[in-house]
């Protein structure tokens, strides 16, 4: 075997230290594992150095073959030509090592520059690839690897024998930068316990102290690394029986921005003039990411002459190694009645994602029928289960709350900070799904076919949890653990037959689920030799559980036309119309899960509880809807070597809702010109544009009625929801994408150029029936009916030059220039400070303007 000594050293190092290879696996091309694409920032396609266009084309038998049947261009097939191919017995082999140096410059930490690539200054492995093929037996082994950094790399091994079996294994690390501009005030970032630094007093810091701590906090990059490993095997078991098995594991490790308590927000802000600030307790924290998901797929299929059989088991097992996030609150939290608390609100806690087990077994059987027909039957059963130990409602010590005359709102923490305060120790959550699908297809004539499909799906949520504390005999939970909600009268989250008899809190989980039945009828005609028409009718009968409607019916009709009768062009056009309606709309189907349904509930002040929401509210997935979709795709060959393609599309949704989502629209165009005059040259120009809009309406409640008579009136136009408090907003977005690519092999030198531009502009307008729609009506004169525009723009230019030095050594020089700008009004003001009264934020947001460069040189060595 003729290999370069360096290749042996690298291979040995990988096998010895690495362990990655030993555990790796992948179902590329089959979708059984999920990793379809291997690439990185250096080479998004993966294996580009191996992709030498083959002048000899696709087939030794067929000329041309460079277009799809509809006229789009195939790229020239890639060849191993140019690489020395060794021979040893029946085996041929090849190898390529590409090593080099990369140097990022300019605003190299800009979030959008390094969002999915861990650019670092230093050596990089562009590609290490080896392949072995046995043309006599059809056996093959192929290895590929690339490394930018320890957090951005991939290695893949494939082996098998054509027509018999295939083994795939992989290891890869993929970075995802969340923010490069984060300034968290806490210590312990990345862990489960966020503590305040020296200088801040938990539950008792001044605003100035928190501002100072924020200003002094070091800039951090938040992000995570996805590490995927897996192995899959597929092969013929016996005659027509093929089996496969795969297992993959994905670990996610890192940090991300995490909200935090949101109570109180600005509407109830009171400027007390105190150095400790006023109301509220809003914190943007940082949470750890420490997940793993293991997927197992087992399959067995048989493709016989008459019967086809397919069985598939899918298992997915999610594990979160960190089940909670504890944080310290820096602010002095007050109740709103002006008396001192029994103790400071010091600690808060979040429960993080629970472990989850998912199993699904699907069986499919199909049989050929007369008249070129086919009957297909499918049945599946799935179950999702969670049974983590539940965390207690709070993690405080001492006593929360206050005592003032008749207001005796004292909460002994030891009755709420232990699992004994829960109705059960483990979640016992479970959702089961069932699917049955029967489809029959017939081709009674060569130019006509029809099909009928009946599909039934049921999602049964068996989770039942009652928020009941057996230590106190109370229902509900302590709301806003670590924030102001836990100490404000009426907001504590507890219900009982005594002091908290007027609390409106959720006391049980709502077992959402649905049962869906879909009937589809379709027919297709070939009209002449160049046109075909198809018509599909669908009736969808949905029965949601514990939702605003118990029945939703939607009828859809889709008409499609495919034509090749317009010269050389291929035209695809479709039009679809859907009309959804249903049973009576109940604006409050959740009463049974709230304390208002409990015996002993007494409305505060002797009043009935306020309406759950306005009766005119229609949630977008439950409302009547008329939907129209149209799409036209045109592919037109220009001469022998180029193709123009264009797509026009538009979607319109109209919702029958006075309150809620009313209207969505999207209209778009994509166009592309591809040119491939020969294997040495290719170029493309592409352009895309899309506009979308979303219109919704709502009505603000009249705060003066919330605590008065009439508060239980849900009518739109009633005292609680007066017409003058009605408002609309219109969210419009325009997105553009354009680019040019060009590559040419001059013989001694290959040049490749690419430019890509992306822009997004969003605008939010609103209008009000009157200033009464505002929380602060007095602010109305300051408003102009729109929020500041948000925009995102990015321009990336790539250039590369490749040339050989000797027969087996080549050089590739490349560079990238990326510039962009970003503006989002949510981040406005954060350049001054991240602390506003009782609100501390962590992320200053992406860089407003940036320019980053990347240069690199790679040495390619054919092994």
Residue 162 or 371: the one with the smaller Cβ distance to other proteins is 162
Q: How many CA atoms lie within 13 A of 681 on its CB side?
A: 7
> Per CB under 8 A, does 742 bind other proteins?
yes
Please, which residues bridge with residue 574 across strands?
Answer: 560, 631
The answer to whether residue 138 forms part of the interface with other proteins (CB under 8 A) is yes
Q: How far is the CB of 281 from other proteins (least distance, A)?
A: 46
Instruction: Please say which residue, 88 or 259, places its beta carbon nearer to other proteins.
Output: 88
Please say whether the beta carbons of 509 and 463 come within 8 A: yes
User: Which positions from 57 to 96 touch other proteins by CB under 8 A, shown as an x/- string?
Assistant: x-xxxxxxx---x---------------------------
Which of 63/273 has CB closer to other proteins?
63
Does 817 engage in binding with other proteins (CB under 8 A)?
yes
Stretch that binds other proteins, among 471-479, 570-578, 639-647, 759-767 (CB under 8 A): 639-647
Instruction: Give the range of 151-159, 542-550, 622-630, 680-688 binding other proteins by CB under 8 A.
Output: 680-688
CA atoms within 13 Å, Cβ hemisphere of 294: 10
Can residue 644 be called a binding residue for other proteins (CB under 8 A)?
no
> Considering only CA atoms, which of 105, 112, 103, 253 is closest in space to residue 181?
112
Q: How far apart are CA 256 and CA 385, in angstroms?
A: 26
Cα three-residue angle 47-48-54, rounded to 5 degrees: 110
Whole-number Å distance between alpha carbons of 500 and 596: 12
Inter-CA distances, 632 with 559, 658, 670, Å: 12, 33, 11
Candidates 406-414, 458-466, 659-667, 678-686; binding stretch for other proteins (CB under 8 A): 678-686
295 to 314: interface string for other proteins, x by CB under 8 A: --------------------
The upper half-sphere exposure of residue 281, i.e. CA atoms within 13 Å in the direction of its Cβ, equals 31
Q: Which of 56, 265, 414, 831 binds other proteins (CB under 8 A)?
A: 56
Select from 135-143, 238-246, 326-334, 353-361 the region that touches other proteins (CB under 8 A).
Answer: 135-143
Instruction: Work out whether 649 is an interface residue with other proteins (CB under 8 A).
Output: no
Q: Does 238 bind other proteins (CB under 8 A)?
A: no
Residue 797 in contact with other proteins, rule: CB under 8 A: yes
Q: Which is nearer to other proteins, 525 or 742 (CB)?
A: 742
Is 641 a binding residue for other proteins by CB under 8 A? The answer is yes
SS3 647: strand
Rg (CA), the chain: 32
Min dist CB 634 to other proteins, Å, is: 18
Instruction: Based on the shown chain and the rule CB under 8 A, indicate whether residue 829 belongs to the binding site for other proteins.
Output: no
**Stretch near other proteins under the rule CB under 8 A, chosen from 207-215, 314-322, 541-549, 735-743:** 735-743
CA-to-CA separations, 636 to 246, 571, 669, 674, 713, in angstroms, rounded:
42, 9, 16, 11, 61
Number of residues binding to other proteins, judged by CB under 8 A:
35
The dihedral sign for the CA sequence 96, 101, 107, 111:
positive
Least distance from other proteins to the Cβ atom of residue 137, Å: 9
CA–CA distance, 749 with 804 (Å, rounded to integer): 8
Least distance from C-beta 164 to other proteins, angstroms?
10
| CA-to-CA separations, 80 to 52, 96, 297, 750, in angstroms, rounded | 7, 11, 33, 17
Which residues does residue 308 pair with via DSSP β-bridges, in sequence order?
303, 366
Q: How many CB atoms lie within 10 A of CB 60?
A: 6
For residue 88, the minimal CB distance to other proteins (Å) is 17
CA-based end-to-end distance of the chain: 10
Handedness of CA 766, 767, 768, 769 (dihedral sign): negative
Name, in order, each residue with C-beta under 8 angstroms of 816's C-beta and a sequence gap of 6 or more: 796, 797, 798, 799, 852, 853, 854, 855
What number of other Cβ atoms are within 10 A of residue 90's Cβ?
11
465 vs 797, beta carbon nearer other proteins: 797
- Report which secondary-structure segment, H or E, holds 11: helix 5-17
The C-alpha atoms of residue 768 and residue 765 are separated, in whole angstroms, by 10
Nearer to other proteins, 56 or 789 (CB): 56
Q: How far is the CB of 527 from other proteins (least distance, A)?
A: 16
Question: What is the spatial distance between Cα 254 and Cα 537, in angstroms, rounded to a whole number?
Answer: 48
The least CB distance from residue 237 to other proteins, in Å, is 15
Whether the upstream peptide bond of residue 5 has omega within 30° of 0, thus cis, is no
Minimum CB distance to other proteins, residue 55 (Å): 4
* Interface map 692-731 toward other proteins (x if CB under 8 A): ----------------------------------------
Q: Is 642 in the site for other proteins (CB under 8 A)?
A: yes
Integer Cα distance of 187 and 217 in angstroms: 10
Shortest gap between Cβ of 754 and other proteins (angstroms)?
A: 10
Question: Which residue's CB is nearer to other proteins, number 338 or number 747?
Answer: 747
Q: Which two tokens stand for residue 210?
A: 């928190």
- CA–CA separation, 106 and 89 (whole Å): 53
Rounded distance between C-alpha atoms, residue 234 and residue 167, angstroms: 7
Say whether residue 683 binds other proteins (CB under 8 A).
Answer: yes
Q: Which has the closest alpha carbon to 378: 431, 309, 313?
A: 309
Asked if residue 136 binds other proteins (CB under 8 A), the reply is yes
For residue 593, state whether it binds other proteins (rule: CB under 8 A): no
Asked if 736 is part of the footprint of other proteins (rule: CB under 8 A), the reply reads no
Closest approach, Cβ 64 to other proteins, in A, equals 5
Nearer to other proteins, 163 or 599 (CB): 163
**686 near other proteins, rule: CB under 8 A:** no
Q: Is 135 near other proteins (CB under 8 A)?
A: yes
Distant-in-sequence, close-in-space partners of 16: CB < 8 Å, separation ≥ 6: none
Q: Does 681 bind other proteins (CB under 8 A)?
A: yes
Contacts of 657 (CB under 8 A, 6+ apart): 616, 617, 618, 620, 623, 697
Asked if 679 is part of the footprint of other proteins (rule: CB under 8 A), the reply reads yes
| Stretch near other proteins under the rule CB under 8 A, chosen from 198-206, 252-260, 610-618, 752-760 | 752-760
Q: Based on the number of CB atoms within 10 Å of its own CB, is 695 exposed (0-12), middle (13-18) or buried (19 or more)?
A: middle
Q: What is the 3-state secondary structure (H, E, C) of 737-806?
A: EEEEEEEEECCCCEEEEEEEEEEEEEEEEEEECCHHHCCCHHHHHHCCCECCCEEEEEEEEEEEEEEECC
Binding-site member from 380, 685, 801, 813 for other proteins (CB under 8 A): 685
State which residue, 338 or 567, has the beta carbon closest to other proteins.
567
**Nearest distance from residue 728's CB to other proteins, in Å?**
38
Binding flag, residue 165, other proteins (CB under 8 A): no
Nearer to other proteins by C-beta: 438 or 569?
Answer: 569
Interface residue with other proteins among 795, 808, 821, 853 (CB under 8 A) is: 795
Q: Which parts of this chain interact with other proteins (CB under 8 A)?
A: 55-57, 59-65, 69, 135-136, 138, 162-163, 639, 641-642, 675, 677-679, 681, 683, 685, 738, 740, 742, 753, 755, 757, 795, 797, 817
């Amino acid at each position: 075997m003729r290999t370069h000594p360096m290749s042996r050293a690298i291979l040995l190092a990988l096998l010895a230290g690495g362990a990655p290879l030993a555990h790796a696996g992948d179902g590329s091309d089959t979708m059984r594992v999920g990793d379809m694409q291997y690439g990185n920032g250096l080479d998004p396609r993966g294996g580009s150095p191996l992709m030498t266009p083959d002048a000899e084309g696709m087939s030794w038998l067929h000329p041309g073959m460079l277009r799809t049947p509809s006229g789009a261009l195939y790229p020239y097939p890639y060849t191993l030509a140019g690489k020395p191919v060794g021979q040893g017995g029946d085996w041929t082999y090849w190898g390529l090592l590409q090593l080099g140096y990369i140097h990022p410059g300019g605003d190299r930490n800009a979030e959008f520059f390094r969002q999915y690539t861990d650019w670092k200054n230093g050596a990089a492995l562009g590609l290490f690839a080896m392949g072995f093929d046995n043309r006599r037996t059809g056996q093959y082994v192929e290895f590929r690897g690339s490394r930018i950094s320890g957090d951005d790399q991939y290695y893949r091994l494939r082996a098998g024998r054509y027509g018999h079996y295939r083994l795939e294994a992989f290891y890869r690390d993929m970075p995802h930068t969340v923010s490069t501009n984060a300034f968290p005030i806490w210590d312990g970032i990345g862990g489960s316990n966020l503590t305040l630094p020296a200088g801040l007093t938990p539950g008792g810091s001044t605003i100035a102290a928190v501002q100072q701590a924020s200003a002094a906090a070091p800039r951090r990059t938040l992000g995570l690394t996805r590490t995927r490993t897996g192995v899959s095997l597929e092969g013929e078991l016996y005659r027509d029986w093929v089996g496969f098995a795969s297992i993959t594991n994905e670990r996610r490790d890192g940090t991300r921005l995490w909200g935090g308590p949101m109570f109180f927000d600005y509407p109830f802000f009171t400027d007390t003039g105190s150095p400790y600030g006023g109301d509220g307790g809003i914190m943007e924290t940082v949470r750890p990411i420490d997940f793993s998901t293991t997927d197992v797929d087992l399959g067995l299929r048989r493709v016989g002459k008459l019967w086809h059989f397919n069985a598939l088991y899918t298992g997915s097992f999610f594990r979160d190694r960190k089940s909670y996030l504890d944080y310290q609150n820096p602010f002095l939290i007050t109740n709103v009645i002006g008396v001192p608390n029994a103790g400071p609100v010091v600690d808060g806690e979040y429960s993080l994602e629970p472990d989850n087990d998912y199993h699904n077994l699907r069986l499919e059987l199909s049989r050929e029928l007369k008249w070129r027909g086919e009957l297909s039957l499918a049945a599946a059963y799935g179950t999702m289960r969670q049974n983590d130990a539940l965390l207690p409602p709070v993690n405080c010590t001492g006593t929360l709350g206050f005592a003032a005359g008749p207001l005796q709102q004292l909460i002994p923490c030891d009755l709420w900070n232990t699992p004994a305060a829960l109705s059960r120790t483990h979640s016992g959550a479970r959702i089961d799904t069932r699917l049955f699908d029967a489809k029959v297809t017939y081709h009674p004539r060569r130019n006509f076919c029809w099909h009928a499909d009946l599909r039934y799906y049921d999602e049964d949520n068996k989770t039942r949890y009652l928020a009941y504390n057996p230590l106190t005999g109370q229902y509900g939970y302590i709301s806003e653990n670590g924030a102001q909600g836990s100490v404000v009268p009426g907001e504590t989250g507890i219900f009982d037959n005594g002091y908290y008899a007027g609390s409106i809190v959720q006391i049980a989980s709502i077992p959402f689920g649905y049962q869906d039945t879909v009937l589809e009828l379709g027919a297709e005609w070939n009209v002449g030799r160049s046109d075909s028409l198809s018509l599909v009718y669908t009736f969808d009968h949905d029965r949601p559980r514990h939702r605003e409607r118990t029945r939703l019916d939607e009828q859809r009709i889709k008409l499609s036309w495919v034509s090749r009768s317009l010269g050389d062009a291929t035209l695809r056009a479709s039009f679809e119309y859907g009309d959804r309606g249903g049973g009576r709309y109940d604006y409050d189907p959740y009463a049974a899960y709230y304390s208002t349904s409990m015996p002993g509930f007494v409305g505060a002040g002797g009043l009935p509880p306020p309406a759950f929401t306005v009766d005119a509210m229609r949630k977008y997935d439950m409302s009547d809807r008329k939907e129209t979709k149209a799409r036209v795709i045109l592919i037109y060959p220009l001469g022998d070597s180029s193709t123009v393609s264009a797509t026009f599309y538009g979607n319109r949704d109209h919702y029958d809702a006075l309150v809620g989502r009313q209207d969505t629209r999207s209209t778009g165009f994509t166009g592309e010109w591809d040119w491939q005059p020969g294997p040495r040259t290719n170029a493309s120009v592409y352009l895309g544009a899309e506009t979308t809009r979303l219109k919704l309406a709502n009505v603000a409640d009249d705060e003066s009625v919330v605590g008065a008579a009439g508060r239980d009136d849900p009518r739109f136009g009633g005292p609680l929801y007066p017409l003058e408090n009605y408002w609309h907003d219109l969210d419009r977005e325009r997105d553009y994408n354009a680019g040019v690519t060009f590559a040419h092999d001059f013989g001694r030198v290959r040049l490749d150029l690419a430019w890509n531009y992306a822009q997004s502009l969003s605008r939010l307008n609103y209008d009000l029936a009157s200033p009464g729609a505002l929380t602060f009506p007095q602010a109305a004169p300051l408003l102009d009916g729109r929020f500041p525009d948000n925009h995102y723009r990015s321009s990336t230019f790539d250039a590369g030059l490749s040339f050989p030095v000797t027969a087996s050594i080549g050089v590739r020089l490349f560079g990238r220039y990326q510039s962009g700008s970003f503006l989002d009004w949510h981040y406005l003001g954060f350049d001054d400070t991240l602390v506003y009264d009782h609100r501390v934020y962590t992320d200053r947001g992406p860089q407003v303007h940036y320019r980053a460069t990347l240069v690199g040189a790679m040495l390619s060595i054919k092994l």
